[in-house]
Structure 1
Amino acid sequence: MQGNVVANLFFEPSTRTRSSFELAAKRLSADTLNFSPGISSLSKGETILDTAKTYLAMGADMMVIRHREAGVPQMIASEMDRLGVKLSILNAGDGQHEHPSQGLLDLFTICSLFDFDNPCMKLLEDKKIVIVGDILHSRVARSNIWSLTATGAEVHLVAPPTLLPRLFIDFVGNQQPIKRADGDGEMANILDSPIPHNQSDLTHPLSSVGNRKLFLHWDIEPALQDADFIMTLRLQKERMSANLLPSLREYHQHYGITRDRLKLCKPDVKVLHPGPVNRGVEISSDLMDDPKLSLIAQQVTSGIAVRMALLYLIGSGKS
């Protein structure tokens, strides 16, 4: 990619994604331009589109875009198409919509643990992957639902009722509380029905999941039974406009990943987190730092290789 210019337009704070895209571009011998909203002309009234056009005028061949509003990368891409500009745009996370490169690097991290002899097999067939946390605000969850189910995994989403999107609940359907088999007679709101096999509404945000296996839970213990992987998500307090949780301490008590909870999983279970991590909230600190159980550092490393591949393939015009 020598001679190409990659512009990293990050309108939101980022450590892992921005740095790994920058490093990926440099390892491919591309030049980089880095944008920071705090020291840009946005504070003087410049629009997002004008900012993108400015970097285009500087010779950008590719733009990596992150924004707090869903659809901004698509909006910029549509404007460039309207202008007849040949420019590649990568979505580095847009609002609560998608984070495609994170979904790919998580998939790569998981699949790197296995040897696949049959190239036709579903990579994660019969693997149970549990995603725990702030599903409502997570673009990572949405991208991972697609990538993990597409490769054969059975995906279980676990969150408090206030942090599960209504659309997800409606999509799974049959949301009837069932009695928890723990002998205390307490009702547990566990949503454990798979996606209907006749789902064909292409306008639905989860329609691409098709007839793959997706389950919803409000109670973490049943979801963790025999899990192969746990992906815990950050509580995105900056996106919460209402008080959706009693306290962080209570959240950790009911949904935090600890060594005791791992006893419910398979013996070789691994834990992932897209970062940044709130230690002692989503996951216990000792578990996060255990290299035998945690894949969090490997996720960061995988991000560089995956983003190098994305830049190279897109920059060379390959799909």
Structure 2
Amino acid sequence: MRSSATSYPEGSAAFPHRGLVGIAGLAPHEIMFLLDEAEQWVDLNRHAQKHRDLLSGLTIINAFFENSTRTLLSFEIAGKRLGADVVNMHAATSSVKKGETLLDTAATLNAMHADAIVIRHASSGAVQLIGDKVDCPVLNAGDGQHEHPTQALLDALTIRHAKRAFNGLRVVICGDILHSRVARSNILSLSSLGADIRVCAPPALMPVGIEAMNVAPFHNFDAAIAGADVVMMLRLQNERMQGDFIPSPREYRHLYGLTLDRLSLASPDALVMHPGPMNRGIEIDSNVADMVERSLITLQVEMGVAIRMACLDVLTRRARGVEGWA
């Protein structure tokens, strides 16, 4: 599904960045370039033979200082399907737990001469800090409340497969906007591509000044979801909360949970998304999450492998001496 309406420069000029730390700073054509590059891997992943030796001989380190299941597994599968040697580093078994500084860890990773490093960290800015200290491309797999760029890219790829275009698309992002790096990256990505973004959250979970990100903020979910084409739900990030942000899970579901009745307020063909993991019965009901004809949640997982394959491919082209990427 390469976009015929998209034009971008040839070779490395199409994506001149050394790494992928965030969506911020990417031009719309650079985002579309990555989406287009992912399409070949969507096709490959749907065949019985899913392996290519494109990155044979290269080493990818997945350095996860913060726990993850979906993102780590997705990056691992992506690297292995491209033929790379993939090494996973878990924070629970790393020297960080023994008091090693982030800069020392960066120096250690750099000394291992990896060809790309995928980093997930609980602190905003940690990925950029490491990226500045290593010689290879760095991919941000989520850093604190900052960004989660590959999640935004896979969400955009999912929406494009379902809706074909972004211009004028009405997208509602509802949930814990304040603590969500997924929300931030999606706002940056989808608004850049021409979508109309509404964000909805309780007052305590809505960032101050969110209007500056070119979105319409709502506290009333019924008003926000009216006429929506895509409804993206977010979980409550209790691990990042200190204090009482909501009265109770039951009250939160009543006001901000996606139910069948509430979905009926959206466009008749509105689609449902969730980055996972889901808290069923709180931010989304099971009979909504499991709607075969409306839910894109499993498609998001599929698109995640493809977009991460594309990112690993594109960001290692210079190291591999690909023509036009010197």
With the length of structure 2 as denominator, give the TM-score of the two structures.
0.79
Could you say what secondary structure the match of 1:2 adopts? coil
Name the aligned partner's letter for residue 194 of structure 2.
Answer: G
Bigger Cα Rg? 1
Q: Does 2:83 correspond to 1:25?
A: no
**Aligned residue for 2:173?**
131
1:26-175 aligned within 5 A: 26-80=80-134, 86-115=135-164, 123-169=165-211, 171=212
1:9 & 1:242 partners in 2: Cα distance? Answer: 30
* 1:56-101 C-alpha deviation (Å, 9 max, x unpaired): 2223111100111000011111223xxxxx3110111110011000
Mapped to 1, the partners of 2:192 and 2:75 lie a distance apart of 25
The DSSP-based 3-state class of the residue aligned with 2:110 is helix
2:107–2:133 Cα contact (<8 Å) kept: no
Classify the secondary structure of the residue corresponding to 2:247. Answer: coil
- Secondary structure of the 1:140 match is helix
Deviation readout 1:140-181 (Å, 9 max, x if unpaired): 000000111111110000000000011315x3xxxxxxxxxx
% identity of equivalent residues: 49
Kindly state the Cα deviation for residue 54 of structure 1 after the two structures are TM-superposed.
2.1
Confirm or deny: 8 A CA contact 2:252 2:282 kept in the other structure. yes
Structure 1 residue identity aligned to 2:242: S
For residue 53 of structure 1, report the CA deviation from its aligned partner: 2.4
Deviation at 1:288, TM superposition (A): 0.9
Aligned residues: 266
The question of whether the paired residues in 1 share the 8 Å contact of 2:63 and 2:119 is answered with: yes
**Which residue matches 1:176?**
none
Distance 1:58 1:157 in 2: 42
Question: Match for residue 273 of structure 1?
Answer: 274
Equivalent residue, structure 2, for 1:8: 62
In structure 1, list runs of 5 or more residues that go unmatched.
81-85, 116-122, 172-205, 207-212
User: Greater relative contact order: 1 or 2 (C-alpha under 8 angstroms, separation 6 or more)?
Assistant: 2
Unpaired segments ≥5 residues, structure 2: 1-54, 319-324
Paired AA for residue 197 in structure 2: V
CA RMSD of aligned residues (A): 1.4
Shift of 1:114: 3.7
Amino acid of the structure 2 residue aligned with 1:60: A
Map 1:287-298 → 2, pairs under 5 A: 287-298=288-299
The one-letter code matched in structure 1 to 2:232 is M
SS in 1 for 2:162: coil
The residue aligned with 2:18 is none
Q: Which has the larger share of helix? A: 2
Give matches, 1:237-316, under 5 Å.
237-316=238-317
- For residues 260-318 of structure 1, the C-alpha deviation after alignment (integer angstroms, 9 at most, x for no partner) is 00111111111000011111011001211121111111100100000000000001135
- Cα distance in 2 between the residues matched to 1:309 and 1:156: 29
State the SS of the aligned residue for 1:79: coil
Matched, 1:234 2:235: yes
Work out the CA distance in 2 between the residues paired with 1:250 and 1:160.
11
User: 1:214, CA displacement in angstroms?
Assistant: 1.6
1:221-254 Cα deviation digits (max 9, x unpaired): 1111111000000100000011111001100000
